[in-house]
Amino acid sequence: MKIRDRYAPSPTGLQHIGGVRTALFNYLFAQSQGGAFILRLEDTDRTRFDAAFVQNLYDTFTWLGFRWDEGPDRGGPVGPYIQSERISLYQKHAQALVQQGLAYYCFCSAERLEALREEQAKNHAQETGYDRHCRTLSPDEGAARIAAGEKGVIRLKIPLGETTRFNDQLLGAIEWKNDAVTPDPVLLKSDGFPTYHLANVVDDHLMGISHVLRAQEWLPSTPLHVIMYRLFGWDHPVFCHLPMVMGQDGKKLSKRHGATSIDEFRRQGYLSEALINYVALLGASYQEGKDLYTLEELGARFSLDKLNKAPAVFDYQKLAWYNGQYIRMKSDAALAALALPYAVEAGLFGEPGTAPDPAQCETFTAAMVLIKERVSLLKEIPDKIRYLFADPPIPAPAEFIPKKLDLQRTRELLAIGRDMVEPLAALPDPEAEAFIKERAVQEGVKLGDLMMPLRVALTGSRVSPPLFGTIRLLGPARSLERLDRALATCRSVAFP
């Protein structure tokens, strides 16, 4: 059997983590089996459709770095791949069910249906939903009323008193009493557009979909779909309902937990490789003792047998850890290219939106080695190195004073630091470290106490990127200027 699976989003919102996880698992399963991964746009909800969401879909997967084998933008043998371009197919199949007595026209008005809902709610009725009022209409009577201009829908005639059974690849045997299925759901609306259920089943059959991998929230719809396949006389695909993605509070992942749309993750400075790696692990396992995978490795190792039944918990701290790992794998030039838009937006080179000049660009790239081990997100980078591009505010004198020392000793340490700037700027890290350690011994002071006032004077902060690299990037002249400012500030305060 040729494996064919699909991602079938409705372009009514931005791409989010749950949808991307579904798409990724379908892609990886197709890759692992030498099959085909199809994109289908389910755009029949015209009230919420927006072309901007279609563009967001394409942009998202371009950024993530994996694509479909067949789809609206690539074509394929079973197109079109946009449901609004397949309306006649759905109408034809709905009519076929009516002619066989397996579906029927319904002419109940919106007012009658609303009154029915209110009555059921008032009486706390055990059975809710449509009351099958038009179920006994003959196909000929229904067709005649439609031909006379009356508005109607086509409803599926659910076989009553039966049980629908199917096997889920992950959850096992599923049984669902037909009487618990949505009562005679609408297949074709009065405007001729299909409902989700009709379009989904017809398209999966006509497109030769062998496996449907989708979120467990769709499980209650599956008995209805299985009934429809059987009434059409078709074999249904293999179903695999993926574990839910939850927040750490045990509730379905949503905006209240933090970023969920891929655009938000991009804005915060996550790398596509990190997001793919982490999302691929939400409900699946691959190889014991290994955390980092390329997309190709994930595709080679993915297996439906290694999916977990339990919900997956989305851990933002764990994702940040993955992101930090991938940041550290980047070359300085590659990381600088990825971080540059964030620096421009943050106004690192002047006003927000100002691009760097060649000298600033060189400094920016050289600074990557200083912060690569200290950031988890690209958006953190500008503030970590802002002191390289503009003099930081001079801290209060108390900020310069190491623990257990006083202001007088701090002034002396700053003066010593001033003497060391030129040698430190000329030495590579190992030799610079040996030089400053020797000087600390000579002065009878702890190494950390000697370095801290120097660090604060140069960067404006007690916590900063490595000191020796900072001195080299600032250069002796700018470093001395900042030390002189620091000394002047500390000397402006009288001794107690």
Detail the DSSP E strand segments found in 315-370: none
Per-domain residue ranges of the chain: 86-242, 330-389, 397-491
Report pLDDT for 46.
82
**How far apart are alpha carbons 253 and 265 in whole angstroms?**
14
Cβ–Cβ under 8 Å, residues 476 and 425: yes
Model pTM above 0.95: no
Nearest Cα neighbor of 191 from 151, 157, 149 is 151
- What is the domain class of 86-242 according to CATH? alpha beta
Report pLDDT for 347.
97
Q: Which residues are catalytic?
A: 255
Cβ–Cβ under 8 Å, residues 380 and 370: no
Partners of residue 164 on adjacent β-strands: 176
Cβ–Cβ under 8 Å, residues 408 and 494: no
Q: How many residues does the chain have?
A: 496
Beta-sheet pairing, 153-156 with 103-106: antiparallel
**How far apart are alpha carbons 388 and 371 in whole angstroms?**
12
In single-letter form, the type of residue at position 458 comes to L
437 is written with which tokens? 């350690």
Say which CATH topology domain 397-491 has: Arc Repressor Mutant, subunit A (1.10.10)
Report pLDDT for 351.
96
Q: Do domains 86-242 and 397-491 have the same CATH topology?
A: no
CB under 8 Å to 134, separation ≥6 — which residues?
104, 105, 106, 107, 108, 142, 155
Report pLDDT for 438.
96
Per-residue pLDDT of the chain (496 residues), as tens digits, is: 899 999 999 999 999 999 999 999 999 999 999 999 999 999 988 888 899 999 999 999 999 999 999 999 999 999 999 999 999 999 999 999 999 999 999 999 999 999 999 999 999 988 889 999 999 999 999 999 999 999 999 999 999 999 999 999 999 999 999 999 999 999 999 999 999 999 999 999 999 999 999 999 999 999 999 999 999 999 999 999 999 999 888 888 877 777 789 999 999 999 999 999 999 999 999 987 899 999 999 999 999 999 999 999 999 999 999 999 999 999 999 999 999 999 999 999 999 999 999 999 999 999 999 999 999 999 999 999 999 999 999 999 999 999 989 999 999 999 999 999 999 999 999 999 999 999 999 999 999 999 999 999 999 999 989 999 999 999 999 999 999 999 999 988 765 5
Cβ–Cβ under 8 Å, residues 8 and 40: yes
Cβ–Cβ under 8 Å, residues 190 and 209: no
406 is written with which tokens? 């006083």
